[in-house]
Amino acid sequence: MTISEPRTSPSVGAADPAVFDEIGARLRARIAAVVVAIIAVGGLWQGACLALSALHVVEFANLKDVAHPWWVALACVATSVLSPALYPRLARSSRSTPAILLSIGTALVVGFVGSSTHFALVVPQMVWLPVLIAAATCTTPWVFVTFTVTMGLVLARHGLVPALTTVNNVVTIAVMMLLVVFVRWLHDAGLREAAVAHGRLMQTLDSDALTSLPNRRRFLESVVEALRFLPRAKKGLAVLRVDLEQFGSLTTALGRDVGDDVLRQVGALLRATVRSTDVVARSGADDFLVLLFDLPSVVGAERVAAKLVERLEQALPAGTRTVHLSVRVGVAFVGADAVPDAERVDDGAAERLVQRAETALARAKAGGRSRVAIEHGDHECQAQRRFVLSQDLREALDRHELSVVFQPIVELATGRVVKAEALVRWKHGTLGAVSPTEFIPIAETNGTIHSIGDWVFRVAVQQASAWRAAAPGFQISINRSPLQFREDGDGRHPCLAMLDELGAPPDSVVLEVTEGVLLDANAPTKARLAALRAAGVQLSLDDFGTGYSSIGMLHGFDMDVVKIDRRFVQGLSRGGKDWVLCGSILTMAHALGLKVVAEGIETEEQRALLLELGCDYGQGYLLGRPMPAVDLATRLQP
């Protein structure tokens, strides 16, 4: 499979990393708020006690020996005031540098304040708080180590190491360390619980709870991804709508639990029947959707649909008995060239494709039991392709996407290349080669046929002028759209004006005219054709014999050349119907003084038979395919 595999429904407990970060940040903020509240209250209480003791309002036995009670009280109050501003920021950050600096600063400030009593009072409030906050992040080890080393140096400097051996300080440190461990456990547990909840939510959004298959929402996302990849895949895709007929009756008769079990079996059978790269989804109570990739044609989708019907209609266990399901499948196929531009595929394209499958399913239901119906029409995609081509054709000339190739026209009696037909080609920037039969009608519709036609005329005439220097008498045949003939204006014909501008002789050009132009010709059009021929431009009646009044065209208009359509040449054989028709056309044309070109010569036998009938010129793959000007130049002879 060339397209990336569709995402599967997330398993329980799986979550987006961004979700983890958000949940973790919220948890750290909550833990910080609780700790800050505790420490702030404790700091205010300690500060108040120290102040009351310094004022001798209340006597506290453990505070009577404090050397600088007002400094210690100020430190406690400052801790209470600053902690709400500093520590929540630390909690929201996963970086260790702020926590380390805060720990060092706190340890140094407290260490240089005073006696061991100061440490006994202030350390629980100020020093361990950064460690506790950092414990809720990923910075606990570095902060703990940094603080411990710094505090050890400070205590050693003051000779206060023995003070830490007191039971009070040992218990305080032990409690704080246990609190750090508890906070970390609380953080991790909350994160795990939130991740599981998030995974369950995502599973509910993207998959069917009963069968664990993707749901309709996820299926449509897969279809959009597939359609956007289609221009590069070079193969088609199909959406299958699988319906279990009268499944409601089975549930009513055997119970909902049995019905659910059958649905699970159907989902498993569908999944086992298609390739691992295909997508199977449950879209409704008894409806399933299947997305098939890499299909060369609709035949592949039809075969898979038939195989699904065969597998699902086998006997399935249902409680204490077995059941046989009646299955119908609607298929909507999209060809490899149906999507013109991946960037313009919208979300509605997937819904429309599913609707096409539903339309096919309706036909299957109307046609009898266990039938597969296929919806071949790519109307939406074709309309989108036409729109894209119409828009891009307006800029094709400026983007240098158009080119002119030349197919040689050979004099059958001598084998010399004496003429060539100029043909326009379009190599789209993203779609590749676009057939003239597709883009010429679009050009006629959106009005770009005039600029494209004039550009082709100029390129062809300039090239013919260069070739005539090596092959005197060489002529170039140029197709001109019926729309151009009708809208050329009443003044001097644009073709004659361009010939004058390019300094090319009129007899170097043969304008090919279709029967449609002559059938719709009014008086001004007839006058323009007459003016062209009077100036020396030759006129060729293209695809002669395909219309219902070809002979009438020869009677009503002066022509120089008749081109026998390829359909009379393809089946040409001695004595056959095409042999008689080609002979009659040649006899009539020569009697009227016209030259004849036979199109579509692909075999040596066809060339020999046409030469035997007296055909003047031939054109076709046997004599030369359309080629760049540089290649045709090598075949010209003086």
User: How many other β-carbons are positioned within 10 Å of the β-carbon of residue 60?
Assistant: 11
Distance of alpha carbon 138 from the chain centroid = 40
Residue 138: CA count within 13 A, CB half-sphere: 6
| H or E element, residue 238 | strand 236-245
Strand order of the β-sheet with 372-375 is 279-282, 287-295, 236-245, 326-334, 372-375
Residue 262: CA count within 13 A, CB half-sphere: 30
Q: What are phi and psi of 510, to 5 degrees?
A: -120, 115
**What torsion, rounded to 10 degrees, do the Cα atoms 547, 549, 555, 560 define?**
0
Position 414: which residue type? T
Q: Residue 122: which of 63, 165, 200, 177 has the closest Cα? A: 63
Angle at 307 between CA 306 and CA 311, to 5 degrees: 120
Asked whether the beta carbons of 444 and 481 are under 8 A apart, the reply is: yes
Which tokens hold the place of 391?
Answer: 């828009």
Which tokens hold the place of 52?
Answer: 């009351």
351 catalytic per annotation? no
63, 72, 96, 511, 575 from 186: Cα distances, Å: 35, 33, 20, 88, 98
| H or E element, residue 233 | helix 216-233
Catalytic residue among 225, 421, 515, 599: 599
Active site positions, annotated = 599
